[in-house]
């Protein structure tokens, strides 16, 4: 079994440390987690977060540009360029080089390929900003069956198709196993489709989005699948702990990945 380093999303994990991300960073480091992920940086105390990262020797793996912008609407593209620039600048301030971009909701009056093209057009406009600030744009699909009704990029293939349309090494993919399984995908097929663009993997168990080991997913098989496509990066943990502490919830998967 190949070993994997873990990267934990602090929006869900180490909540026992309080509301502040900087406090959760310190709690994660005390539990032995030296890679973390967060959502948007906007409105947060970036100085305090950077201090906590430096103090603990922790790496911020990814942030998110925005949750809600409907990028299938060309009228949003100018404003989103400004949103992305701010997010990328703030990510770099925190030592992070990956900014997640989500498609937003689709529309019922355009066929899917046309919507992919409009989304890709938005990303083409972001590429020069990403090059200037030396960040990578990470596309992430989100399931529409349970968690994100109406989202445009709901399958792994949606993000693959959009990345192909953009055709830039600055645009890569997250494969989120939880989102993939909840959307009804076969992970072995979905991950292999994503492999040429794969930059990061995120996981949680199903049902319930708890920690690995809390649900029905065969985790040794999934780790072997990740290995089979040549993935060697950290595994992002984006789960809601079902145990009393995040450290306790991490124990099974940490041992499996060691």
CA–CA dist 245, 174 (Å, integer): 27
- What is the length of the chain? 258
Q: What is the pLDDT of residues 22-41, one digit of tens each?
A: 999 999 999 999 999 999 99
The confidence band for 221, taking pLDDT boundaries of 50, 70 and 90, is: very high
Contact 175, 156 (CB under 8 A): yes
Q: What is the pLDDT of residues 151-167, one digit of tens each?
A: 999 999 999 999 999 99
Does pLDDT of 49 surpass 50?
A: yes
Domains and CATH numbers, the chain: 6-257 (3.20.20.150)
202 contact partners, CB below 8 Å, separation of at least 6: 9, 140, 174, 175, 176, 177, 178, 235, 236, 237, 238
Does pLDDT of 2 surpass 70?
A: no
Tell me what pLDDT residue 197 has.
Answer: 98
Tell me what pLDDT residue 1 has.
Answer: 46
* Residue-averaged pLDDT of the chain: 97
76 contact partners, CB below 8 Å, separation of at least 6: 69, 70, 104, 122
Q: What is the pLDDT of residues 123-142, one digit of tens each?
A: 999 999 999 999 999 999 99
The confidence band for 3, taking pLDDT boundaries of 50, 70 and 90, is: confident
DSSP 15: G
Q: What is the pLDDT of residues 76-94, one digit of tens each?
A: 999 999 999 999 999 999 9
pTM of this structure: 0.96
Averaged over 57-62, what is the pLDDT?
98
Averaged over 230-250, what is the pLDDT?
96
Query: What percent of the chain is modeled with pLDDT above 90?
Result: 97
Tell me what pLDDT residue 125 has.
Answer: 98
């Amino acid at each position: 079994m190949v070993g994997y380093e873990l990267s934990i999303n602090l929006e869900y994990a180490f909540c026992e440390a309080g509301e502040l991300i900087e406090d959760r960073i310190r709690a994660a480091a005390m539990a032995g987690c030296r890679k973390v992920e967060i959502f948007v940086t906007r409105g947060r105390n970036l100085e305090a977060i950077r201090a906590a990262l430096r103090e603990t020797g922790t790496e911020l793996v990814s942030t998110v540009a925005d949750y809600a912008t409907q990028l299938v609407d060309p009228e949003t593209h100018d404003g989103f360029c400004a949103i992305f620039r701010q997010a990328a600048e703030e990510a770099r301030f925190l030592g992070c080089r990956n900014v997640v971009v989500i498609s937003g909701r689709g529309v019922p009056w355009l066929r899917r390929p046309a919507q992919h093209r409009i989304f890709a057009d938005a990303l083409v406009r972001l590429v020069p900003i990403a090059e200037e600030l030396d960040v990578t744009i990470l596309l992430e699909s989100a399931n529409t069956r349970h968690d994100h009704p109406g989202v445009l990029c709901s399958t792994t293939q949606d993000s693959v198709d959009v990345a192909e349309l953009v055709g830039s090494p600055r645009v890569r993919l997250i494969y989120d196993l939880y989102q993939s399984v909840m959307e009804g995908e076969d992970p072995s097929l979905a991950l292999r489709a994503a492999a040429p663009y794969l930059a990061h993997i995120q996981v949680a168990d199903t049902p319930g989005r708890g920690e690995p080991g809390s649900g029905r997913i065969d985790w040794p098989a999934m780790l072997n699948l990740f290995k089979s496509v040549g993935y060697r990066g950290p595994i992002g943990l984006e789960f809601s702990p079902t145990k009393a502490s995040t450290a306790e919830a991490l124990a099974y998967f940490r041992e499996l990945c060691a």
